[in-house]
Structure 1
Amino acid sequence: MNRCNILSVSATIALGLALLGSTAGTIAGAAEIRLLSAVALHPAIDALIPDFEKISGHKITVAYGTAGAVADRVQKGEAADIVISSAPMIDRLQAQGKVIAGERVIFAKVGVGAFVRKGAAKPDISSADAFKRAVLAAASITYPDPAGGGASGIYVDGLLERLGIAAEMKPKTKLLPPTEKLYGSVASGDVEIGFNQISEILAQPTVELAGPLPSAIQNYTQFAPGIVTGSTRADAARALVAFLSSPRAESVLKAKGFE
């Protein structure tokens, strides 16, 4: 968790921990929470849900999508109690009145990394110049289709433009959805290098993280939860926010590739 958020988070944590204590082990206080989450958080959320359910007594139903897609679902009125998306998306939803204002807490961030087939040689991407050379030398690359609203795909697409190599790379680029197809294309050897958020790469057993993008061209996506306006389970949702901001959850997030 970022230091700048410690003070703003403390009140939320205190409230959430009180709610956790009051509902733990009680059937009457249990709620069923509907969560829409950015898919980059999938590995961490899946690991954290059982722990939260055990501590709080609440139950969570979760659906995943790109950061843009889950924000759009809330914007269009899909029933949910809490949404986790990129910080700018949550800000947009707050401005639209779709999530409760003044409760945004950044609890994790993740950078973009390159991945290759397991056991394959890793390209040198230790600097911006090395990254550019490695991409130009690659027979093919892939990253999530920006049209799907994923933060990493949008960023890599723009990065190639800024480096002045987008036109040269276009014939060698396969835009794929951030699912098995993205990783399968690299695992099978059809594509040489892939790019996505590090947390998602680490969760894939058939590919290997080649490394994060160098700091000069790295991009971090910050994630924040938003409690959906009109939710009848807002207190339970706040307990989940507090849990995600706790040291207990932070250790799991770090293990899954988040900072």
Structure 2
Amino acid sequence: MSNLNILSGGAAQGLVGNLTPAFKALTGFDIAGEFGAVGVMADRLRKGAPADIVILTAALLAKLAQERLVVATSIADIGLVETALAVRAGDPQAIAKDAVSLREVLLASDAIFVPDTKASTAGIHVANILQQLGIADEVATRLRIFPSGATAMRELAASKARRPIGCTQSTEIISTKGVTLSGPLPAGCELATMYTAGIPIAAVYPQQAQHLIELLIGAGQREQRTRAGFIGGPN
């Protein structure tokens, strides 16, 4: 059985997983590869990691196309993903209607689970928000930083802290058992990131990659995209 190699931001892992059976029925291919911080995945491609399809932020894919690593004409938007708050299943919701209440929610937490604050979309944003709110130093020892949002959410689900909270992309929260989406970050602190798919110049199976892109953006999958946490995207 052949594999389609993927390098993807963690934001798309749930959606790709949901579409894998349909893709296999269509092409006979399984999907293998890596999901993680978008910056790490982009660097993996730059260093020659095998990939037939990449799913990253629109800005990163545009840069990879400029670097002649991705076929520019293959790039297609999947949808926007919001950065959001998460709590353990069964814990009270963390309500943040504005920057003031977000500050209070974060200060009330004794453990804050986030993805890579140097290479992931959500992690970089969280680090910036903590600075913006003036609490970066105060909560530094409470940060629990993991390579990806999915890993951070699994660790949140298993946390024994008194009042833990998580912050990553909504798609990673939705696809993780044991945590609950508590809502997007409030106005002034929000982040909605467009995720796109593209085919690397060196792809071994570009035709099959195009089939997966068509599944990801197809009108028939709009409901699946919405359930997975993507906003907008193709009709």
Q: Shorter-normalised TM-score: what interval?
A: 0.7 to 0.9
Q: Which runs of 5+ in 1 are unaligned?
A: 1-29
169-178 or 34-43: bigger deviation = 169-178
Q: CA deviation at 1:176?
A: 2.6
Match of 1:246 in 2: 218
Match of 1:211 in 2: 183
Report the TM-score, using the length of structure 1 for normalisation: 0.80
135-144 or 105-114: bigger deviation = 135-144
Match of 1:145 in 2: 116
Q: Distance in 2 between matches of 1:164 and 1:59?
A: 46
Report the TM-score, using the length of structure 2 for normalisation: 0.88
Q: Distance in 2 between matches of 1:186 and 1:79?
A: 32
Match of 1:222 in 2: 194
Q: CA deviation at 1:186?
A: 5.1
Match of 1:109 in 2: 80
Tell me which amino acid in the other structure corresponds to 1:54.
Answer: A
Q: Deviations over 1:9-67 (max 9, x none)?
A: xxxxxxxxxxxxxxxxxxxxx97422222222111101101112213444433432221
Is 1:176–2:121 an aligned residue pair?
Answer: no
Q: Distance in 1 between matches of 2:125 and 2:180?
A: 21
Q: Which runs of 5+ in 2 are unaligned?
A: none
Identity of aligned residues (%): 28
Tell me which amino acid in the other structure corresponds to 2:44.
Answer: R
Question: For 2:196, what is the secondary structure of its paired residue?
Answer: strand
**Aligned-pair Cα RMSD in Å:** 2.1
Match of 1:9 in 2: none
Given candidates 31, 35, 39, the residue that maps to 1:68 is 39
Contact 2:111 2:164 in 1 (8 A): yes
Q: CA deviation at 1:145?
A: 2.5
Q: Deviations over 1:143-183 (max 9, x none)?
A: 11313x21111111111112222122223322233344543
- Structure with the largest fraction of strand: 2
Match of 1:255 in 2: 227
Q: Distance in 2 between matches of 1:209 and 1:137?
A: 18
